[in-house]
């Protein structure tokens, strides 16, 4: 969300100006006021006036002499001091001048205090006020109010009408359904209170990055038409112990004043991580978390403050935070499925000019595994590509190309591959596609290309899933491993050589094979024993082995066997279709890009 930070630079500027004005007052104006009737004359005139006995009184100051004449005592004359004039005093005595008494009355002490202290303060204060007003006006223009948060200095931003509604969030129907209840509650709390039901105080939105958690929280506020407070968990964690806790207190104070309202805490894991008993742990974070827990306990379920929090590391949260009465409801916000992707694409495509009749389902199919944020990015990339090609509408091909850009990077126009390398890449990619197509359970290919990409890929095969797969059978996984190894297999068979081009395939195949044994219980010997723990399931899913060293050795052996077996299978499939392999590779070599349909028609002739 957009946040308005106070313009710090301007503030410094204004204080600078105030300082200069005070300075000017002190150095120019005040002496000027004091010396209004002083006349400067030169020293020789002074001497001649003394000798002419025109002077009645004089005052010798440190660096000047002030005197008045007998004629008119209201005019004060001033002249400099000439240090070498040793006869000054003699001359004055001779001329009967009174020179011990002061000529100019010292300004009264009260006046002094006023000019030196009060006036500057008034000027500073006035400027401060002026600044505040201007800042307030700016905020009002942005439809945003800012709350200073006492000593903690934290800022909470309320955006009363951001205008995001559930309809702006495509897909995520389950999450929306779940949150619709909250909206209903905020609209008609009576209905719930009458029966004695209380709303959950806190709702945890969990899911991978970019799936629309922030959007959903905003949409709840938008639908219920209540203020939306947003703060990131990391903003609570400060350098000094106690600051975070104070921010939490202030946040809840503000929220209660504005109730009913939504408080959204993004990345709550920054403060809500499990407290460990270690001495010298993160005191500040723990204090902040404790304060949050206290605040949540402190208000009754029905006072209209509903806290939404987002995280992509739910397993790392402190159990105290997720127990009933606090964040007791968990709403999963998962990566969109095929239909969800199609809808998200449509929502974002509304914001750009598109040619009519775009097949969004097709685009969604190609973008398997993409998050909402990535899909939004794909549409934007497509629009940029349209502009680059001097068109004023986005075409289907723009969308398809931008998926490839997001997956594999831009086309490397000037990468020069030798013919031999190009041939090897063609065989490699056809190998993947051929084995994928021949194994009935594998998804057919969408597109094969051997144009190098900035990501470093020299070519790739885009497989397409026809529908959604929630489950994968053992055979599915084995086939997939076979497909990964097929690139290398094709090189071996057709070119009798192996290249470094298979490194990514090897990585993927190994990962799958290992997961089959350690996590999916698909090995006969180990059966349904978990040999690996997965942490951070929404952030790539790091796995750590939990077994003895001997078992680890056995796992490694089994992984090797498994991959070898599938590699052999892939080689067999390719050998059986060697003629097709050459034909397809030749075609790809010449055309550089072929579609799934072209591929299938050559395969089936």
Please list every residue from 366 through 385 that binds ligand ADP, using CB under 6 A. Answer: 372-373, 376
- Measured from the CB atom, the residue of 312 and 479 that comes closer to ligand ADP is 312
Least distance to ligand ADP, CB of residue 237, Å: 19
- Measured from the CB atom, the residue of 182 and 489 that comes closer to ligand ADP is 182
- Report the residue closest to ligand ADP, judged by CB: 372
Active site residue 429: yes
Please list every residue from 513 through 532 that binds ligand ADP, using CB under 6 A. Answer: none
DSSP for 165-216 reads -GGGS-S-HHHHHHHHHHHHHHH-HHHHHHHT----SEEEEE-STTSSHHHH
Strand partners, 307: 202, 263
Least distance to ligand ADP, CB of residue 186, Å: 20
What are the angstrom distances between the C-alpha of 9 and each of 5, 13, 136, 338, 491?
11, 6, 16, 48, 63
Size of site (CB under 6 A) for ligand ADP: 17
Binds 242: which of ligand ADP, Zn ion, none (CB < 5-8 Å by kind): none
Please list every residue from 422 through 441 that binds ligand ADP, using CB under 6 A. Answer: none
Least distance to Zn ion, CB of residue 574, Å: 13
Return the closest-CA partner of residue 121 out of 199, 26, 51.
26
Which residues here bind Zn ion, judged by CB under 5 A?
487, 505
Least distance to Zn ion, CB of residue 434, Å: 12
Least distance to ligand ADP, CB of residue 210, Å: 5
Please list every residue from 190 through 219 that binds ligand ADP, using CB under 6 A. Answer: 209-215
Please list every residue from 56 through 115 that binds ligand ADP, using CB under 6 A. Answer: none
How many C-alpha atoms does 517 have within 13 Å on its Cβ side? 23
| Residue 364 engages ligand ADP in binding (rule: CB under 6 A) | no
- Measured from the CB atom, the residue of 22 and 344 that comes closer to ligand ADP is 344
Count of CB atoms within 10 A of residue 576's CB? 12
Contact 434, 584 (CB under 8 A): yes
| Residue 344 engages ligand ADP in binding (rule: CB under 6 A) | yes
Contact 300, 306 (CB under 8 A): no
Least distance to ligand ADP, CB of residue 329, Å: 17
Binds 169: which of ligand ADP, Zn ion, none (CB < 5-8 Å by kind): ligand ADP
- Measured from the CB atom, the residue of 210 and 521 that comes closer to ligand ADP is 210
Alpha-carbon span 224 to 230, nearest angstrom: 16
- Measured from the CB atom, the residue of 2 and 278 that comes closer to ligand ADP is 2
Binds 210: which of Zn ion, ligand ADP, none (CB < 5-8 Å by kind): ligand ADP
Binds 211: which of Zn ion, ligand ADP, none (CB < 5-8 Å by kind): ligand ADP
Contacts of 130-133 spanning 24+ positions with Cβ under 8 A: 130/14, 131/10, 131/11, 131/14
Neighbour order of strands in the sheet with 445-449: 460-463, 445-449, 593-595
Alpha-carbon span 8 to 11, nearest angstrom: 5
Contact 444, 438 (CB under 8 A): no
| Residue 310 engages ligand ADP in binding (rule: CB under 6 A) | yes
Least distance to ligand ADP, CB of residue 394, Å: 17
Q: Give the binding range for ligand ADP (CB under 6 A) out of 170-178, 355-363, 423-431, 510-518.
A: 170-178
Q: Are strands 144-147 and 156-159 parallel, antiparallel or unpaired?
A: antiparallel
Return the closest-CA partner of residue 446 out of 481, 412, 407.
407
Residues 6+ apart with CB under 8 A from 499: 424, 428, 491
Alpha-carbon span 157 to 148, nearest angstrom: 10
Least distance to ligand ADP, CB of residue 212, Å: 3
Contact 79, 46 (CB under 8 A): yes
- Measured from the CB atom, the residue of 212 and 487 that comes closer to Zn ion is 487
**From the centroid of its chain, how far is CA 541?**
22
Among the options 172, 295, 404, 429, which is catalytic?
429
Alpha-carbon span 459 to 502, nearest angstrom: 11
Alpha-carbon span 480 to 443, nearest angstrom: 9
How many C-alpha atoms does 412 have within 13 Å on its Cβ side? 16
Least distance to ligand ADP, CB of residue 556, Å: 37
Least distance to Zn ion, CB of residue 487, Å: 3
Alpha-carbon span 309 to 375, nearest angstrom: 23
Binds 487: which of ligand ADP, Zn ion, none (CB < 5-8 Å by kind): Zn ion
Binds 435: which of ligand ADP, Zn ion, none (CB < 5-8 Å by kind): none
**Phi and psi for 369 in degrees, rounded to 5?**
85, 0
- Measured from the CB atom, the residue of 266 and 505 that comes closer to Zn ion is 505
- Measured from the CB atom, the residue of 295 and 478 that comes closer to Zn ion is 478
| Residue 172 engages ligand ADP in binding (rule: CB under 6 A) | yes
- Measured from the CB atom, the residue of 211 and 442 that comes closer to ligand ADP is 211
Among 158, 206, 265, 347, binds ligand ADP (CB under 6 A): 347
- Report the residue closest to Zn ion, judged by CB: 487
Q: Give the binding range for ligand ADP (CB under 6 A) out of 165-173, 382-390, 425-433, 476-484.
A: 165-173
| Residue 233 engages ligand ADP in binding (rule: CB under 6 A) | no
For the chain, how far is it from start to end, CA to CA, in angstroms? 56
- Identify the DSSP state of 502: G
Binds 505: which of ligand ADP, Zn ion, none (CB < 5-8 Å by kind): Zn ion
- Measured from the CB atom, the residue of 205 and 588 that comes closer to ligand ADP is 205
* Active-site annotation, residues: 429
Residues that bind ligand ADP (CB under 6 A): 169-172, 209-215, 310, 344, 347, 372-373, 376
């Amino acid at each position: 969300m957009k946040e308005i930070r106070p313009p710090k630079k301007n503030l410094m500027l204004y204080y600078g100006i105030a300082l200069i004005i005070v300075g000017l007052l002190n150095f120019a104006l005040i002496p000027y006021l004091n010396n209004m009737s002083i006349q400067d004359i030169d020293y020789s005139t002074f001497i001649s006036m003394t000798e002419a006995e025109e002077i009645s009184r004089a005052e010798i100051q440190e660096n000047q002499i002030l005197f008045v004449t007998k004629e008119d005592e209201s005019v004060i004359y001033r002249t400099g001091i000439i240090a070498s004039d040793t006869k000054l005093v003699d001359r004055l005595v001779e001329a009967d001048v009174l020179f011990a008494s002061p000529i100019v009355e010292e300004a009264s002490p009260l006046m002094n205090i006023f000019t030196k202290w009060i006036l500057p303060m008034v000027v500073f204060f006035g400027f401060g006020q002026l600044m505040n007003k201007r800042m307030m006006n700016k905020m009002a223009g942005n439809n945003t109010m800012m709350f200073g948060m006492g000593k903690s200095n934290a800022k909470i931003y309320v955006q009363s009408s951001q205008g995001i509604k559930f309809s702006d969030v495509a897909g995520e129907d389950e999450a929306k359904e779940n949150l619709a209840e909250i909206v209903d509650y905020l609209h008609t709390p009576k209905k719930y209170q009458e029966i004695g039901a209380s709303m959950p105080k806190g709702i945890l939105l969990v899911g991978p990055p970019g799936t629309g958690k922030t959007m959903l929280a905003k949409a709840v506020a938008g639908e219920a038409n209540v203020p939306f407070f947003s703060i990131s968990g990391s903003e609570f964690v400060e350098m000094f112990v106690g600051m975070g806790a104070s921010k939490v207190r202030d946040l809840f104070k503000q929220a209660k004043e504005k109730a009913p309202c939504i408080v959204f805490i993004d990345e709550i894991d920054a403060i809500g991580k499990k407290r460990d008993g270690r001495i010298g742990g993160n005191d500040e974070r723990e204090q902040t978390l404790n304060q949050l827990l206290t605040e949540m306990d402190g208000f009754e379920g029905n006072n209209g403050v509903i806290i939404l929090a987002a995280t992509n590391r739910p397993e790392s949260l402190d159990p105290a935070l997720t127990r009933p009465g606090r964040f007791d409801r968990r709403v999963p916000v998962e990566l969109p499925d095929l239909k969800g992707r199609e809808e998200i694409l449509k929502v974002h495509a509304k914001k750009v000019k598109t040619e009519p009749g775009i097949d969004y389902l097709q685009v969604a199919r190609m973008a398997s595994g993409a998050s909402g944020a990535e899909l939004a990015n794909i549409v934007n990339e497509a629009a940029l590509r349209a502009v680059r090609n001097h068109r004023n509408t986005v075409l289907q091909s723009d969308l398809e190309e931008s998926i490839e850009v997001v997956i594999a990077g831009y086309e490397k126009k000037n990468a020069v591959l030798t013919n031999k390398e190009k041939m090897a890449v063609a065989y490699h990619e056809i190998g993947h596609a051929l084995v994928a197509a021949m194994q009935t359970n594998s998804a057919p290919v969408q597109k094969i290309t051997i144009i190098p990409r900035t990501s470093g890929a020299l070519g790739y095969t885009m497989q397409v899933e026809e529908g959604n797969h929630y489950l994968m059978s053992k055979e599915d996984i084995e086939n997939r491993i076979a497909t990964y190894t097929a690139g290398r297999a094709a090189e071996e068979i057709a070119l009798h050589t192996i290249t470094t081009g298979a490194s990514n395939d090897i990585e993927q195949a190994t990962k799958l094979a290992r997961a089959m044994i350690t996590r999916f219980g698909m090995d006969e010997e180990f059966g349904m024993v978990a040999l690996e723990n997965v942490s951070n399931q929404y952030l790539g899913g790091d796995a750590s082995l939990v077994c003895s060293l001997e078992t680890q050795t056995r796992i490694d052996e089994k992984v090797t066997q498994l991959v070898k077996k599938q590699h052999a299978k892939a080689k067999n499939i390719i050998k059986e279709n060697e003629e097709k392999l050459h034909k397809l590779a030749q075609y790809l070599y010449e055309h550089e890009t072929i579609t799934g349909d072209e591929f299938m028609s050559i395969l089936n002739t």
